[in-house]
Structure formats: structure tokens, C-alpha cells
Structure 1
Amino acid sequence: MFILKRQDVEISSIQHPTRDQQVPILYYQEQTFRLISVFKASQEMEAKALWRSLTDNRGKACVLLEEPDRYSVWGKIRLEQSDIHSRGEVFTLATIMLLQAVYLDIAELLGNRQASLFEKDISGLLQQKQFPEISSPEIVKTLLTADPSQITKLPPWQEAHWMTLLEDLHKLGKSYFGDTNFAHQVDDRLTEMPEDERSLFISWLSQSPLSKLWH
């Protein structure tokens, strides 16, 4: 969307509503953006690749900020709609994004028929284990295909749900692909998450029993 210099924008921070931390916010032409990722000055290519991926492939409104010592990518938010999530919402969203990543890999590498079977497997799993607010295959289809930034109401899952889904998703993915490569480089699967939320989730994941499966 935009490649901007530091003098083009205003950067400040706001208090996170549920955590004791400040969230970096960028303002440009009465629009509000939240930090997604930071790159060193030597990583211009990587920064532009992420920015293009989000704007061209995902249709997101993003800013690439060029500074003398770094590059940073920022995603547009609407503060009045509470785009800043609580810890539980962060972990639920990250879990959904990992689920979507496996689903997309299956569709891309194994074809639509296998993707449909995976969708059926996941739907049966979530309903069998009585995940909150997962009452039909249509809701599961939405979870698998919705743009994460457009999910206005996340299901009220808790730690037991994240653990169960990620453990079963790992088993399912292994049965489809025949290996566990899909569960590596979790950080790359969550590039669309704001940096602070991504770090929070990965910190929890690395300290949980799931760290042996997802890393």
C-alpha cells in the first residue's frame, strides 16, 4: 500500500487493554497501523517481500516504513473496533492461523480432494470434542478460510482447547503429509500477527509440551 519515511508518519504507543505493556501505533493520513514485523537495515529484501506478500497476496492495507537503521511493516487497524486482543484471543487466533496454514498446504500440495477430506476430519474432531461455538461444518469451513484479520468474534477457547487442537492437528497433518515438516517454522506461519502477539504465543508454545511438535 505505502512505502514511507519516518518524517511521513507519527508513531506513538497505547496501553494494551488487558496486558501491562505499550503497543506501538503508527498514524498516517488519519489511518492507524500496528507493528507487524521489524527488520534490520540489511534486510531490505525480506522486509519488502513480507510487505508485498501481505498487500498483493492477502489484500491487506500495510505500510512499509524505511528508516536509516531498520525497516518495519505495519498493518492497518481500527482502534474503535478493539483490534487489540486479550491473551486468550491471541492464542485462539494463532491456533486458528496454524490450522489454516496446514489446510492451505494440503490444498496446494495434495489437491482439493484431500483438502475436503481434511476439512471433514477437522470438523468431526472439533464437534466430537465439543469445542465451544463449533456447532456445524459450515462454521468450521469459515474458520479454515476466513481472513484472520476479519474474524470479528473469536470462539471462547481456553488452554485445554489450544492444546487439544494443536496436538490433534499435528497427528492429522502427519497422516496427510507423511512427515512433520509442516509443523516447523511456526514463526513464519504467523507473520500476519502483530509482533507482540506473535511473540507472546510463541513464548507460551515453547514452554508447553507442544514445543516438541510445533517449533
Structure 2
Amino acid sequence: MFILKRQDVEITTVQHPNREQQIPILNYQGQTFRLMKVFNVNQNPEALAYWRDLTDNRGKACVLLEEPERYSVWGKVRLEQLAREGGGGGDAKIPALVQASLLILQAVYFDVEDLLGARQAGAFEKDLVKVFQDSQFPSSDSLDAVKTLLTKDPLDSLQIPPWKEDHLKTLLEELYRLGKGYFGNTSFAEGLEEVLEDLPDEDREFFISWLGQSPVGKLWAIG
């Protein structure tokens, strides 16, 4: 739809009607857009491809914003739409956030298993148990529970763990720390879009927006 520069737009935040969350909103010529995905400054081809896929193939109204340090894609939204996301309750979207976080967790774990071997994968499982115990994650503080989380499809599960937003932020922060320690680099934290591609579009976009508003998002190349 549009490729714009930072000086062309105004970016503000609005309070989500049903959640304790500030949502970034891009304003351009009386239209409002919501953050969908962020790319590093060296990911120009990927940003263009993502924007074109949304606009040309999926018929979405989107803005590609070019900034000195990053590219970001924004989808058109009416502010009144945000009220529906809560579904009448502040925790209604938590399951989608948990599912997205579990997909990321499993992706990192499978990379450890595939690239570093079974022994390191076993050590990774034990490190996760310690993280969950130290941070008092409900229903997730045993090795058996961790093994289930790492192997069961979050999208098929009717019994996802009863975590809150603070648990998820802790998980993603600690997962980044563990991944960096195991791999010796941070390449595992790139390409979230591919990891999350099985999520419904609305849930994926909501998670990316949610993560982008947290300092943890900067670890995972968001925000």
C-alpha cells in the first residue's frame, strides 16, 4: 500500500481497552496502522518481501516504514477493533501468547537437539526446569512437565500451562540467555515469523505487537 519514511508519519500509543498494554499506532493521512513485524536494517529484502506478500497476495492494507535503524510493517486497523481483542476479559488473549512462546521455546530446543546432540538437549531440559522452579512457573516445575512442553504441539493442546504475561517475559528472557550460551551466538533469535507461521494471523500479529512493547522484544529482533 505505502512505503513511508519516519518523517511522513506520526507514531503514538493507545491504551488497549481490555488489557494493561500500550499499543503502538502509526498515523498517516487520517488512517491508523498497528505494528505487525520489525526487521533489522540489513533485512531490506525480507521486509519488502513480507510487505508485498501481505499487500499483493493477501490483500491487506499495510505500511512499510523505513527508519535509519530498522524496517517495520504496519497493518491497517480501526481503533475500535482493539476492543474486540480482549473478548470481554483482560486475559482472553493470554492463551495465544502462551502458544506463541511455546513455539519459540520448542524451536530453540529442537535446534539444540539437532545441532548439538542429545546430551546437550538433556542439559537444556534441566536448565529449563531450574528456570521454571526459580521463577515459580505453575504446573511446569518438573522434568516430566518440561519434556511435555517441549514435545507436545501447543496448537493442539487444550491444556496449555496457566502462565501469565510476566511468566512469558521471563521465559523469553531466560530462553534467550540459554540459547546464547548453548550456541555462542544470537542467530537462533531471528526469523520468528517462520516459527510462528502456524498461528492464526490475528494471534501472530497480536503476539508480535505484544512482544514489541517489551524490552524482551529487542532480544528477539522485535522493536
Q: Specify if TM > 0.5.
A: yes
Question: C-alpha deviations, 1:76-96, integer Å up to 9, x for none?
Answer: xxxxxxxxx931111111111
Name 1:167's counterpart in structure 2.
173
Matches within 5 A, 1:91-102: 91-102=97-108
Distance 1:203 1:192 in 2: 17
Letter in 1 for 2:193: D
Distance 2:55 2:217 in 1: 31
| Structure 1 residue 149: Cα displacement | 2.1
| Structure 1 residue 150: Cα displacement | 2.1
| Structure 1 residue 134: Cα displacement | 1.4
Question: C-alpha deviations, 1:144-188, integer Å up to 9, x for none?
Answer: 011122221111211110111100100000000000010112111
**TM-score of the pair, normalised by structure 2:** 0.58
88, 92, 112: which one aligns with 1:86: 92
Over the aligned positions, Cα root-mean-square deviation in angstroms equals 2.3
Name 2:114's counterpart in structure 1.
108
140, 145, 150: which one aligns with 1:139: 145
Residues 99, 155 of structure 2: 8 Å contact kept: no
Name 2:213's counterpart in structure 1.
207
Is it true that 1:196 corresponds to 2:210 in the alignment?
Answer: no
Name 1:125's counterpart in structure 2.
131
The answer for unaligned runs of 5 or more in structure 1 is 1-17, 20-37, 44-84
Letter in 2 for 1:166: L
Higher relative contact order (CA 8 A, sep 6+): 2
Distance 1:158 1:149 in 2: 18
The answer for unaligned runs of 5 or more in structure 2 is 1-17, 20-51, 58-90
| Structure 1 residue 205: Cα displacement | 0.8
Could you list the runs of 4 or more consecutive aligned residues of structure 1 that deviate by over 3 angstroms after TM superposition? 38-43
Distance 1:209 1:92 in 2: 18
Matches within 5 A, 1:11-160: 39=53, 86-160=92-166
